[in-house]
Amino acid sequence: MKQLSLSAMLVLMLSVLSACNKSDSSAESAPGGETKAAATQSVEFVTTQDGKPLVIDAALFDTPAAKEFFATGKNSYVGNADAIAKGKKVFQLYSCTQCHGPEAKGQVGPGLVGPDYKYPKDMTNKGMFETVWHGTNGGMGAKGIGLMDPTDPKNGITPDELLKVIAWIRSMSSVTGNE
Ligand code: HEC
Protein backbone atom coordinates (compact mmCIF):
# COMPACT_ATOMS: atom_id res chain seq x y z
CA MET A 1 0.00 0.00 0.00
CA LYS A 2 2.75 2.40 1.07
CA GLN A 3 4.79 1.40 -1.96
CA LEU A 4 1.96 2.03 -4.31
CA SER A 5 1.34 5.57 -3.13
CA LEU A 6 5.06 6.30 -3.24
CA SER A 7 5.36 5.26 -6.83
CA ALA A 8 2.20 7.15 -7.69
CA MET A 9 3.81 10.23 -6.22
CA LEU A 10 6.97 9.65 -8.18
CA VAL A 11 5.00 9.46 -11.42
CA LEU A 12 3.21 12.67 -10.53
CA MET A 13 6.46 14.44 -9.71
CA LEU A 14 8.05 13.30 -12.93
CA SER A 15 5.16 14.49 -15.05
CA VAL A 16 5.16 17.87 -13.32
CA LEU A 17 8.89 18.14 -13.90
CA SER A 18 8.67 17.30 -17.55
CA ALA A 19 5.84 19.80 -18.01
CA CYS A 20 8.09 22.47 -16.47
CA ASN A 21 10.91 21.58 -18.78
CA LYS A 22 8.66 21.81 -21.78
CA SER A 23 7.42 25.29 -21.04
CA ASP A 24 10.94 26.46 -20.19
CA SER A 25 12.44 25.34 -23.44
CA SER A 26 9.65 26.83 -25.54
CA ALA A 27 10.07 30.17 -23.77
CA GLU A 28 13.78 30.21 -24.46
CA SER A 29 13.85 29.11 -28.07
CA ALA A 30 13.45 32.48 -29.70
CA PRO A 31 13.63 32.16 -33.48
CA GLY A 32 13.32 35.87 -34.30
CA GLY A 33 15.28 37.97 -36.72
CA GLU A 34 13.68 36.61 -39.84
CA THR A 35 11.43 39.48 -40.81
CA LYS A 36 12.47 41.68 -43.69
CA ALA A 37 10.03 44.56 -43.30
CA ALA A 38 10.59 47.85 -41.56
CA ALA A 39 8.81 46.94 -38.33
CA THR A 40 11.06 45.24 -35.81
CA GLN A 41 9.51 42.27 -34.10
CA SER A 42 10.46 41.37 -30.60
CA VAL A 43 7.10 39.98 -29.64
CA GLU A 44 6.57 36.30 -30.38
CA PHE A 45 2.98 35.52 -31.21
CA VAL A 46 1.45 32.17 -30.37
CA THR A 47 -1.95 30.78 -31.29
CA THR A 48 -4.65 30.60 -28.63
CA GLN A 49 -5.65 27.15 -29.92
CA ASP A 50 -2.44 25.32 -29.00
CA GLY A 51 0.27 27.86 -28.16
CA LYS A 52 2.15 27.12 -31.38
CA PRO A 53 4.11 29.97 -33.03
CA LEU A 54 1.89 32.32 -35.00
CA VAL A 55 3.65 34.08 -37.85
CA ILE A 56 2.16 37.38 -38.93
CA ASP A 57 3.65 39.29 -41.86
CA ALA A 58 5.65 42.22 -40.49
CA ALA A 59 4.50 44.37 -43.40
CA LEU A 60 0.98 44.38 -41.94
CA PHE A 61 2.22 46.42 -38.97
CA ASP A 62 2.15 49.61 -40.98
CA THR A 63 1.22 52.40 -38.54
CA PRO A 64 3.27 53.84 -35.65
CA ALA A 65 0.98 52.17 -33.09
CA ALA A 66 1.06 48.83 -34.90
CA LYS A 67 4.86 48.99 -35.17
CA GLU A 68 5.14 49.78 -31.50
CA PHE A 69 2.92 46.81 -30.67
CA PHE A 70 5.03 44.56 -32.90
CA ALA A 71 8.14 45.66 -31.05
CA THR A 72 6.88 45.81 -27.46
CA GLY A 73 3.50 44.08 -27.20
CA LYS A 74 2.03 47.33 -25.81
CA ASN A 75 -1.11 48.85 -27.26
CA SER A 76 -0.59 52.62 -27.32
CA TYR A 77 -4.22 53.19 -28.38
CA VAL A 78 -5.45 52.26 -24.89
CA GLY A 79 -6.79 55.47 -23.35
CA ASN A 80 -6.75 57.33 -26.68
CA ALA A 81 -10.28 58.70 -27.26
CA ASP A 82 -10.08 58.87 -31.08
CA ALA A 83 -8.74 55.34 -31.38
CA ILE A 84 -11.39 54.06 -28.95
CA ALA A 85 -14.21 55.65 -31.01
CA LYS A 86 -12.77 54.09 -34.18
CA GLY A 87 -12.42 50.75 -32.43
CA LYS A 88 -16.10 50.67 -31.60
CA LYS A 89 -16.93 51.19 -35.30
CA VAL A 90 -14.49 48.53 -36.42
CA PHE A 91 -16.11 46.15 -33.92
CA GLN A 92 -19.38 46.64 -35.81
CA LEU A 93 -17.73 46.48 -39.22
CA TYR A 94 -16.31 43.01 -38.62
CA SER A 95 -19.54 41.70 -37.06
CA CYS A 96 -18.01 41.21 -33.64
CA THR A 97 -21.23 42.87 -32.46
CA GLN A 98 -23.38 40.03 -33.75
CA CYS A 99 -21.86 37.51 -31.39
CA HIS A 100 -20.50 39.64 -28.56
CA GLY A 101 -23.23 42.30 -28.37
CA PRO A 102 -23.06 46.02 -29.22
CA GLU A 103 -21.29 46.85 -25.95
CA ALA A 104 -19.15 43.68 -25.96
CA LYS A 105 -21.02 42.49 -22.86
CA GLY A 106 -21.91 39.17 -24.47
CA GLN A 107 -24.64 37.72 -26.66
CA VAL A 108 -24.07 34.36 -28.43
CA GLY A 109 -20.39 34.76 -27.64
CA PRO A 110 -19.01 35.72 -24.22
CA GLY A 111 -18.59 39.22 -22.81
CA LEU A 112 -15.18 40.67 -23.57
CA VAL A 113 -14.72 43.24 -20.86
CA GLY A 114 -13.24 40.77 -18.37
CA PRO A 115 -11.58 40.29 -16.05
CA ASP A 116 -12.86 36.68 -16.02
CA TYR A 117 -11.75 35.54 -19.43
CA LYS A 118 -12.09 32.00 -20.68
CA TYR A 119 -8.58 32.47 -22.03
CA PRO A 120 -6.71 34.21 -19.20
CA LYS A 121 -4.13 35.50 -21.72
CA ASP A 122 -6.83 37.92 -22.92
CA MET A 123 -5.95 39.99 -19.86
CA THR A 124 -2.99 41.19 -21.94
CA ASN A 125 -3.28 43.05 -25.22
CA LYS A 126 -0.90 40.64 -26.88
CA GLY A 127 -3.01 37.70 -25.73
CA MET A 128 -6.29 39.22 -26.86
CA PHE A 129 -4.71 40.14 -30.19
CA GLU A 130 -3.70 36.51 -30.74
CA THR A 131 -7.14 35.22 -29.75
CA VAL A 132 -8.92 37.44 -32.27
CA TRP A 133 -6.30 37.16 -34.99
CA HIS A 134 -6.19 33.39 -35.10
CA GLY A 135 -9.42 32.31 -33.39
CA THR A 136 -10.14 29.71 -30.71
CA ASN A 137 -11.04 26.02 -30.64
CA GLY A 138 -14.31 26.73 -28.89
CA GLY A 139 -16.38 28.48 -31.51
CA MET A 140 -14.64 31.58 -32.81
CA GLY A 141 -12.97 31.55 -36.18
CA ALA A 142 -9.93 33.66 -37.05
CA LYS A 143 -10.46 37.31 -37.88
CA GLY A 144 -6.97 38.25 -39.04
CA ILE A 145 -6.34 39.55 -42.52
CA GLY A 146 -6.46 36.67 -44.98
CA LEU A 147 -7.88 34.43 -42.28
CA MET A 148 -11.56 35.40 -42.26
CA ASP A 149 -11.60 34.45 -45.91
CA PRO A 150 -8.40 32.55 -46.75
CA THR A 151 -9.05 32.95 -50.48
CA ASP A 152 -8.80 36.71 -50.17
CA PRO A 153 -5.68 37.96 -48.38
CA LYS A 154 -7.19 41.44 -48.30
CA ASN A 155 -10.23 40.40 -46.33
CA GLY A 156 -10.10 40.62 -42.57
CA ILE A 157 -9.13 42.93 -39.76
CA THR A 158 -5.70 44.61 -39.86
CA PRO A 159 -3.36 44.79 -36.85
CA ASP A 160 -4.00 48.53 -36.52
CA GLU A 161 -7.78 48.03 -36.58
CA LEU A 162 -7.58 45.24 -34.05
CA LEU A 163 -5.52 47.37 -31.67
CA LYS A 164 -8.24 50.01 -31.83
CA VAL A 165 -10.94 47.41 -31.12
CA ILE A 166 -8.95 46.20 -28.12
CA ALA A 167 -8.51 49.81 -26.92
CA TRP A 168 -12.30 50.19 -27.03
CA ILE A 169 -12.82 46.95 -25.09
CA ARG A 170 -10.24 48.07 -22.48
CA SER A 171 -12.01 51.43 -22.14
CA MET A 172 -14.87 49.52 -20.46
CA SER A 173 -12.62 47.21 -18.49
CA SER A 174 -10.76 47.31 -15.20
CA VAL A 175 -7.51 46.36 -16.94
CA THR A 176 -5.56 48.22 -19.63
CA GLY A 177 -3.88 45.05 -20.92
CA ASN A 178 -0.54 46.91 -20.90
CA GLU A 179 0.11 46.03 -17.24
C1 HEC B 1 -19.68 34.09 -35.16
C2 HEC B 1 -19.68 34.63 -33.83
C3 HEC B 1 -18.45 35.47 -33.42
C4 HEC B 1 -17.92 36.56 -34.06
C5 HEC B 1 -18.37 37.22 -35.35
C6 HEC B 1 -16.83 37.01 -33.21
N7 HEC B 1 -16.71 36.20 -32.13
FE8 HEC B 1 -15.35 36.40 -30.62
N9 HEC B 1 -16.04 34.66 -29.80
C10 HEC B 1 -17.12 33.93 -30.23
C11 HEC B 1 -17.28 32.76 -29.38
C12 HEC B 1 -18.36 31.70 -29.51
C13 HEC B 1 -16.23 32.82 -28.43
C14 HEC B 1 -15.90 31.79 -27.33
C15 HEC B 1 -14.87 30.90 -27.95
C16 HEC B 1 -14.37 29.79 -27.07
O17 HEC B 1 -14.97 29.52 -26.03
O18 HEC B 1 -13.32 29.22 -27.45
C19 HEC B 1 -15.47 34.03 -28.71
C20 HEC B 1 -14.37 34.45 -27.98
C21 HEC B 1 -13.75 35.68 -28.12
C22 HEC B 1 -12.72 36.20 -27.25
C23 HEC B 1 -12.13 35.47 -26.07
C24 HEC B 1 -12.95 35.77 -24.83
C25 HEC B 1 -12.44 35.09 -23.57
O26 HEC B 1 -13.23 34.97 -22.62
O27 HEC B 1 -11.26 34.69 -23.50
C28 HEC B 1 -12.39 37.44 -27.72
C29 HEC B 1 -11.35 38.40 -27.14
C30 HEC B 1 -13.22 37.71 -28.90
N31 HEC B 1 -14.03 36.61 -29.10
C32 HEC B 1 -13.19 38.87 -29.64
C33 HEC B 1 -13.86 39.03 -30.86
C34 HEC B 1 -13.69 40.18 -31.74
C35 HEC B 1 -12.82 41.38 -31.46
C36 HEC B 1 -14.46 39.94 -32.84
C37 HEC B 1 -14.58 40.75 -34.10
C38 HEC B 1 -13.34 41.00 -34.83
C39 HEC B 1 -15.14 38.67 -32.62
N40 HEC B 1 -14.75 38.15 -31.41
C41 HEC B 1 -16.05 38.12 -33.50
C42 HEC B 1 -17.93 34.24 -31.30
C43 HEC B 1 -17.68 35.24 -32.21
| pLDDT tens column, 52-64 | 999 999 999 999 9
Higher pLDDT, 37 or 141: 141
Can you say how many angstroms the Cα of residue 17 is from the centroid of all Cα atoms in its chain?
28
Q: Is the dihedral of CA 128, 131, 137, 140 positive or negative?
A: positive
Query: For residue 137, which atom of ligand 1 is closest to its CA?
Result: 18
Cα(125)–Cα(171) distance, integer angstroms: 12
Residue having the nearest C-alpha atom to atom 16 of ligand 1: 138
Best substitution site from 98, 99, 131, 148 to test ligand 1's pocket, by max atoms within 8 Å of Cβ? 99
CA of 110 to the centre of ligand 1 (A): 7
Report whether pLDDT(142) > 60. Answer: yes
Mean pLDDT score across all residues of the chain: 86
pTM value surpassing 0.85: no
Residue having the nearest C-alpha atom to atom 34 of ligand 1: 96
Q: Which of 58-67, 75-84, 144-153, 160-169 has the lowest mean pLDDT?
A: 144-153
Residue having the nearest C-alpha atom to atom 8 of ligand 1: 140
Give pLDDT tens digits for 70-86: 999 999 999 999 999 99
In this prediction, residue 38 carries a pLDDT of: 64
The amino acid that residue 68 corresponds to is E
Residue having the nearest C-alpha atom to atom 29 of ligand 1: 128
Query: What CA–CA distances, in Å, run from 161 to 19, 123, 132, 167?
Result: 36, 19, 11, 10
Superfamily (CATH) of domain 39-171 = Cytochrome c-like domain (1.10.760.10)
Give pLDDT tens digits for 5-36: 655 555 555 554 444 444 443 333 344 444 44
Beta carbon of 79 within 6 Å of any ligand 1 atom: no
When pLDDT is cut at 50, 70 and 90, the band that residue 179 belongs to is very high
Q: Which of 66-75, 127-136, 145-154 has the lowest mean pLDDT?
A: 145-154
